[in-house]
Each structure stands twice: as C-alpha cells, then as structure tokens.
Amino acid sequence: MKKADWFLVISIALLALIFTAFNKHVFFRAGDVTQETKAVIKVQGEKIKEMSLPLKEKHYKLEVQGKEGIAVIEFQDKQVRMYESPCAEQICVQRSWISSPGESIICVPNEIVVEIESAKQPYDAVTY
C-alpha cells in the first residue's frame, strides 16, 4: 500500500472513533434543538396517549376512562387542564392549566396523570 492509502485508512478509523465517542452527545443535542413539547396521558401507570403541543385544533376536549369514571381533559393552545373529573376532592381540577415541561396534573382516586414533557427538562425532578 502507498503512503496515501495508509493515510486514508487511518483518517477513516480516527473519524469513526471520534464519531463513536461523541455520537451520544451529538444525538442529544439534535433532540434539544427541536424541543418538541408534548402532553402525555397515563391511566393506572400506562401511557395511553401522547399529544404534541400546541395541538392543531385551538380547542380540544378528550374523554379518558379512569379507574373511577370518565375524566375530561381540555387542551387550549399550549395549555392542558383537567376539565372534569368524577373524583371527590377535585384536586386535579383545582390544579388548573399546566404548560411548562415537567408540570403535571395527578388525579389519585381516578389514577390519571397528565404530564408535560420536553426533551429539554432542566431538573431531574421537582419537589412540591
């Protein structure tokens, strides 16, 4: 092999190495740039629906069957709230609109969770 061939082989190898070492970071960065925000709806620990925010419709109501009964989740622009819930204390309805990544509405008796997720969440968790 010629000197130039060796050069080519080594450069390819080096490039591959660098890419392998950094690809995780590269992909993560790429994910951050799009910053897609979505509302994730879970019933009894199972994810049942994901909605990208803002929705195409300006206003949208979604009926979800929970443990105790049917809950109505309302979407408006970038915001989500529990519009109606069959539970006794109505804590989830009082929680009102949520829109920032990491925020959530939790209805304990009806076992429904609505969470705002985004690739870029600055904290591992929030204490409240």
Partner 1 sequence: MNKRYYYLITIICVVFLVVLGFLRFRQEEEVTSEQFLMDTLVSIRVTGDEQEKLQEAVQKAFGEMKRIEELTDRFQAAGSSSCTSEICRVNSAAGKQAQVVDSDVFTMLVLAKEYADLSGGAFDITIGPLLDLWGFGKAEQKVPSAEDIKKALALVDYRELVLDDTDNSVLLKKTGMSLDLGGIAKGYAAGKALQVLQEHGVKSALLNAGGNISVWGQKADKKPWMIGIQDPRDPGEVIGALTLNNESAVTSGDYNRYFIYKGRRYHHIISPFTGYPADKNMSVTVVASDPGIADILSTTLFVLDYTKGLQIVEKLEGVDALFVTADRKIVISSGLKEKFTIKQGKDYTYEESGLVSSN
59 belongs to the binding site for partner 1 (CB under 8 A): no
35 belongs to the binding site for partner 1 (CB under 8 A): no
Instruction: Report, in Å, the least distance between residue 56 CB and partner 1.
Output: 23
48 belongs to the binding site for partner 1 (CB under 8 A): no
- Region binding partner 1 by CB under 8 A among candidate stretches 9-17, 32-40, 51-59, 69-77: 9-17
Q: How far is CA 96 from CA 8, 73, 92, 120, in A?
A: 61, 11, 7, 23
Place of tokens 């990544």: 101
Neighbours of 112 (CB within 10 A): 25
Instruction: Report, in Å, the least distance between residue 34 CB and partner 1.
Output: 20
Residue pair 113/105 in contact (Cβ under 8 Å)? The answer is: yes
Tokens of 86: 């069959």
Residue pair 66/76 in contact (Cβ under 8 Å)? The answer is: no
List the one residue from 53, 80, 82, 113 that touches partner 1 (CB under 8 A): 113
The footprint of partner 1 (CB under 8 A) covers 1, 5, 9, 12-13, 16, 20, 42, 44-45, 88-89, 91, 94-95, 98-100, 102-103, 106, 108, 111, 113, 122-128
